[in-house]
A and B are shown apart, each in its own frame.
Chain A
Amino acid sequence: MLIHGFVRHTGVPFHAITTELEHNSVLRPLTTLEQDRALSLSVVPFAGNKVSLAAIRQVIQPETRLVVMTHGSNVLGSVQEIKPIAEYLYTNDIFFIVDGAQTAGHFPISLSDIPVGAFVFTGHKALFGIPGTGGFYIPDPDAIAITRQGGTGTDSQALTQPSDMPMRFETGTLNYPGIASLLAGLRFINTESLEEIERKGRDLTGYFIRELQHMPGITLYTTAPDLPVVSFNINSIDNHEAGFILVRAYNIITRTGLHCAPLVHERIDGRKGCIRASFSWFNTRDECRAAAEAVREVVESADPQISAD
């Protein structure tokens, strides 16, 4: 909605920038618009699992009007330094959309200190809501043209979409059960405390990584993620097979494949995909231990040489 709305608002083709870390929720609209010649696109590579301001500055052109970037990688678990990027882009009149789907709810984010054009969140990840909600913070709604029209439950005489907030972007019957669950999730976070949630995430992630780090036959794609996400491969078995075994034989649910982030996988595993374990407030150390033990059994079974050594 934001990307298409910005394009419509701008009205003429321009240059946009995104990164190799992005989710398809960013890559697909940008690629589609590029194919439609509504914009030209530069994709900035990551280094050390992060995208730097310097790397972004290298691809900025006089026609650059938009940068869309993830706050946290759903594969590598790395959190990007968006504040200096936001400040630079703001100074240069480049609209900055930050995809906070992977970070909102994991740690405090002070948007009043970060001059973003928009910050996007989803309700069903670390905000503890059910699937089907999401939203964005946007200091200047007029920067985004209206791209959806429909009922708003207000101002029914108007035959065009109301332009004031929030009706400007909220169309149709809203997902009330989802919103109620999101509210419950936010209250839950306030009760438990964001700092404690962050601390526990780091503890579980660190524990799991320490267990895997010394296992032969494992490729770990990050050893110090900022988010409770650990991506890895078991060298002697396809990641989909490994995930199938972990869930069916051990009740350990992971996600396998490309995680809707194909460009990251192009860099880290040649687009074969990997296994991703994510840790929630509701996971325990015992569960992490059991997961690591299950991975060990798969490793040793898939490569008997390892268990023989």
Chain B
Amino acid sequence: MKEYVLDEPLTDDFLKFLENFGTVRFLEQLRKPYFSFEKELFISIKGFVGDGNVEVRYKKEFQDLVGDYFYLLLYYYDQGERGISQLKGQEDSIRQRMKIRL
């Protein structure tokens, strides 16, 4: 498990971006609006909208393959539609390596 401290708080728009890659859960009727992002075998992210830190967990067996995935999400977020397709391409490549390992 890792805790990341971000330069800027996560936004609703970033959560919309995450929806392209996995399951986002958003609970807004709390003292702080909470979100979680799950991508099976890759990553699980938990945090609060407007907070500057998030908790990230990786699947232990594939940590060496997916350890940079959170950085990739942040990087491709800035690149719009092109970023989405490029990240999906990278995911396919990671999945191939996971299949070999499995």
Contacts and interface: CB of A to CB of B under 8 A. Distances in A.
Interface of A: 241, 244-245, 248-250, 294, 297-298, 300-302, 304, 307
A241 B36 contact: yes
A65 B27 CA distance: 54
Contact of B48 (A241, A248, A301): A248
A250 B31 contact: yes
Given A241-B36, A244-B55, A297 B46 contact: no
15 contacts: A241-B46, A244-B46, A244-B55, A245-B27, A245-B30, A248-B48, A249-B30, A249-B31, A249-B34, A250-B31, A294-B31, A297-B29, A297-B31, A298-B27, A307-B29
B55 A298 contact: no
B19 interface: no
Given A245-B30, A297-B29, A301-B28, 13 more contacts: A241-B46, A244-B46, A249-B30, A249-B31, A249-B32, A249-B34, A297-B30, A297-B31, A298-B30, A301-B27, A301-B30, A302-B27, A307-B29
Contacts of A245: 27, 30, 34
Contacts of B48: 248-249
Interface in B11-56: 27-32, 34, 36, 46, 48, 55
Contacts of A304: 29
A248 B33 CA distance: 11
Contacts of B32: 248-249
A307 B31 CA distance: 15
B53 to A, nearest CB: 9
A300 B31 contact: no
B89 to A, nearest CB: 31
Contacts of A307: 29
Q: Which of the listed residues B28, B32, B34, B46 has the most CB atoms from chain A within 10 Å of its own CB?
A: B34
A108 B29 CA distance: 44
Nearest to B29: A301
A300 B34 contact: no
Contacts of B55: 244
A272 B55 CA distance: 20
Contacts of B46: 241, 244
Give 8 nearest A-B pairs by CB, closest first: A301-B29, A301-B27, A249-B32, A249-B31, A301-B30, A245-B34, A244-B46, A249-B30
Nearest to A294: B31
A111 B24 CA distance: 54
Contacts of B34: 245, 249, 301
A304 B26 CA distance: 12
Contacts of B29: 297, 300-301, 304, 307
